[in-house]
Amino acid sequence: MLQIQIDGKQIAVQQGATVMEAAHELGTYIPHFCYHKKLSIAANCRMCLVEVEKAPKPLPACATPVTDGMVVHTHSAKAKQAQEGVMEFLLINHPLDCPICDQGGECQLQDLAVGYGKSSSRYQEEKRSVVGKDMGPLVSAAEMSRCIHCTRCVRFTEEIAGMQEIAMANRGEFSEIMPFIGKAVETELSGNVIDLCPVGALTSKPFRYDARSWELSRRKSISAHDALGSNLIVQTKDHTVRRVLPLENEAINECWIADRDRFAYEGLYHESRLKTPKIKHGGEWHEVDWQTALEYVRKTLDCIQKEDGKDQIGIWANPMNTVEELYLTKKLADGLGIKHLTTRLRQQDHRINSGLRGALWLGQGIESLAHADAVLVIGANLRKEQPLLTARLRRAAKNGMALSILASSPETLYMPLSAQEVLHPNEWTLRLQGWVQNLSSTIPNSLKSAEKSAIILGAEVQNHPDYAAIYAAAQELASATGSTLGILPQAANSVGADILEVNMGQTILEMQAQPKKAVLLFNVEPDVDVAGGAAAVAALKQAQSVMAFTPFESETLREVCDVMLPIAPFTETSGSFVNMEGRLQSFHGVVKGLADSRPLWKVLRVLGNVFELQGFEFNSSEQVLAEAIQPSSLPTKLNNSVNVVARANQPTNVLLRVGGVGIYHTDAIVRRSAPLQATNHAQTPVARVHSATLAQLGLQDGAMAVAKQNGASVQVQVLADDGLPKNVVHLPLHGDNAALGAMMNTIELAGA
């Protein structure tokens, strides 16, 4: 430990620490612009100049390492003169447009100018003007004259996002921050440059000129768009969500959020938002009140129970529903004697479910995974499934983690990899079993020789028709190498659903094969949220009654349903999620419900009362949670040890569809967010196929083809990609191809 004195206060710090870090630890503020604790040191702005005794001139605190016995003055006359000089320099060319700047009220330059700036400028020449830049649909760079060249944005895209999408061109007074020519800034984390910009050069394009920071109310919340459970600050005005920012939580999302979390709020007020209950009569939809709608649900279910039996009722619930909503769903099902309830909407192989000993989860904490020495990821599209977790793994890989990938398609991860094997998904089981037999191979050896290692299964494994066999082989490999086995849950509350043991009776595929007379949809859009969307819709069309509890209406729901009830999205209700590491996080609604929408847990509580069931006397979501889960018991309910013995039984010479769910098509809110749908990530995907497979199918590179799956057909463009295995079609799930059905199933390609 080194001893340092800052403004008369003594502190001991680690070898290699900077003066800035020592000051932060001491609670002493040093003004700065370019410094950020998560980024490399640039020392561009020079705002953090301090006086160090025995040094001939002021030194930048961010780039000056501590030496034993160092004496630092942050507010001496010499330090203040240096800081004021820097501030005067930074303001020379800065435009006087604070009244129209979106950063007004949150601008570091504005704040520090008050403390260190002069009342007037000595600069008499013309101010420099910089032409605005186009950085895509999410980030606005229209006023780059405000830029002070701190390079935070440049360092973020290279170091955290992985790919340098922003750079500084030219030198001296001609320096400009800009994207690469003809390219937008569109990594899955691009919105974080908005928070990083200390001035108003980079701002949120969807939020631009929408409101002033001092007009907004700040509310804490939890992301509902993936299983990480990112902590959010939701800013509201006039009972509407206007902006979403990260809430720092080092254990989960650090100080970042994914673009999916940041910009999805734009979908909350889409024109398809369901505002009042509706019932279909004679093929026409009519608005009704809640009492009428709930009474319709009661009479319909009572009628079907009497005429066809309780076995003819099924419930499909979205795993992004809260703990409270899922608990009351199961409680209602138990009370009514409904035997069939599922949240595993995309899972095709259910053999594994009978051998579960607890809820499947990451297997360890998020921070713990990032500190592993070796990690094997199987069947995951990491950047699409878990953007922020991928950023953690990227930093760990750069610091020496041996990260290996076994996947169905090559993914550009912008990080050093120990190994990346791309195989036909039906070969995964045999490859894992081979590694168990030969631990000296590169990948198993890296796991076995590591002090701490992990094997992680992604969505493509969980949705594979032979999931049980792959899981059994991965479990065996984990045991042989001493690795921790975990999965990447597919929805915000997938772990919570397993903890509550809500899944019972027939699976989603069984309910499609044997259509029910009545189906209740809880926040489910069957054409895109369910494995085999077309088959799901066909099964619902055979039902006498389909009752949708949904925030949004769609053409599919209007076609198959006879009643739709408006429920509130996560921003308008209180509730809880259990994230991938088994952490229970509760949140409150940040705005009141839109129009006549109601929180689903309240609707279920009232339904329990309508059916005169016992145990539905709840006044708050907190009461529901207290009955549903005891936080102290959570660790005992998490267990990835599965009692399953399964062998591969899938052929390897069939044409298989891979690619997972598009990053901006994961849930109803994201699918309706206009800014996200304007990105390249959300565009209609092409079908990528190995050139040898294309030739075998008689197709030309770049030609149009007809993709057929589960009796449905869609026109797609095909492109040759020799990075893919043979007999694999990379075609992510998108609204335009949802009719094709489930991932990891056989597909046909033929000339258009």
Count Cα neighbours of 335 within 13 Å in the Cβ-side half-sphere: 20
Average pLDDT, the chain: 94
Residue 172 is predicted with a pLDDT of: 84
The length of the chain in residues reads: 752
- Give the residue-averaged pLDDT of 478-506: 97
- Give the residue-averaged pLDDT of 59-66: 96
553-586 pLDDT, tens digit each: 999 999 999 999 999 999 999 999 999 999 999 9
- Give the residue-averaged pLDDT of 8-17: 93
Q: Which of 484, 212, 534 has the alpha carbon at shortest distance from 365?
A: 484
Alpha-carbon span 592 to 268, nearest angstrom: 13
Alpha-carbon span 399 to 389, nearest angstrom: 15
96-109 pLDDT, tens digit each: 889 999 999 999 99
% of the chain at pLDDT higher than 90: 89
Q: Which of 215, 250, 216 has the alpha carbon at shortest distance from 231?
A: 250
pTM: 0.95
The 3 state secondary structure assigned to 63-128 is: CCECCCCEEEECCCHHHHHHHHHHHHHHHCCCCCCHHHCCCCCCCHHHHHHHHHCCCCCCCCCCCC
278-290 pLDDT, tens digit each: 999 989 999 999 9
Strand 484-487 versus strand 453-457 pairing type: parallel
Residue 376's DSSP bridge partners are 404, 455
Strand 278-281 versus strand 563-566 pairing type: antiparallel
Does the structure show a pLDDT above 80 at 709?
Answer: yes
- Per the CB < 8 A criterion, the answer to whether 157 and 184 are in contact is no
> What are the φ and ψ backbone dihedral angles of 186, each rounded to 5 degrees?
-140, 30
Question: Other C-beta atoms within 10 Å of 290: how many?
Answer: 15
Count Cα neighbours of 94 within 13 Å in the Cβ-side half-sphere: 23
Helix (H, G, I), strand (E, B) or coil at 520: strand
Question: Look-up: residue for tokens 């007037």?
Answer: 120
Does the structure show a pLDDT above 90 at 678?
Answer: yes
Beta strands in 331-472 (DSSP E): 340-342, 374-378, 402-407, 419-422, 453-457
- Give the residue-averaged pLDDT of 413-429: 95
> What are the φ and ψ backbone dihedral angles of 556, each rounded to 5 degrees?
-65, -45
Confidence label for 136 from pLDDT (cuts 50, 70 and 90)? very high
Q: Which of 226, 223, 273 has the alpha carbon at shortest distance from 244?
A: 223
CA-based angle 391:395:396, to the nearest 5? 115
Alpha-carbon span 571 to 327, nearest angstrom: 19
- Per the CB < 8 A criterion, the answer to whether 660 and 408 are in contact is no
- Per the CB < 8 A criterion, the answer to whether 42 and 151 are in contact is yes
Confidence label for 648 from pLDDT (cuts 50, 70 and 90)? low
Does the structure show a pLDDT above 90 at 122?
Answer: no
User: What does the radius of gyration of the chain's CA atoms come to, in whole angstroms?
Assistant: 28
Confidence label for 182 from pLDDT (cuts 50, 70 and 90)? confident
> What are the φ and ψ backbone dihedral angles of 214, each rounded to 5 degrees?
-75, -10
Query: Is residue 98 left, alpha or beta, with left meaning phi > 0 and alpha meaning psi from -120 to 50?
Result: alpha
Residue 380 CA: distances (Å) to CA of 171, 616, 719? 42, 40, 22
328-370 pLDDT, tens digit each: 999 999 999 999 999 999 999 999 998 899 999 999 999 999 9
Quick one: how far is CA 41 from the chain centroid? 28
Does the structure show a pLDDT above 80 at 650?
Answer: no
Beta strands in 445-600 (DSSP E): 453-457, 484-487, 518-522, 545-550, 563-566, 575-578, 584-587
The most confident of 72-86, 117-131, 632-646, 730-744, by mean pLDDT: 72-86
Residue 354 is predicted with a pLDDT of: 87
384-409 pLDDT, tens digit each: 999 999 999 999 999 999 999 999 99
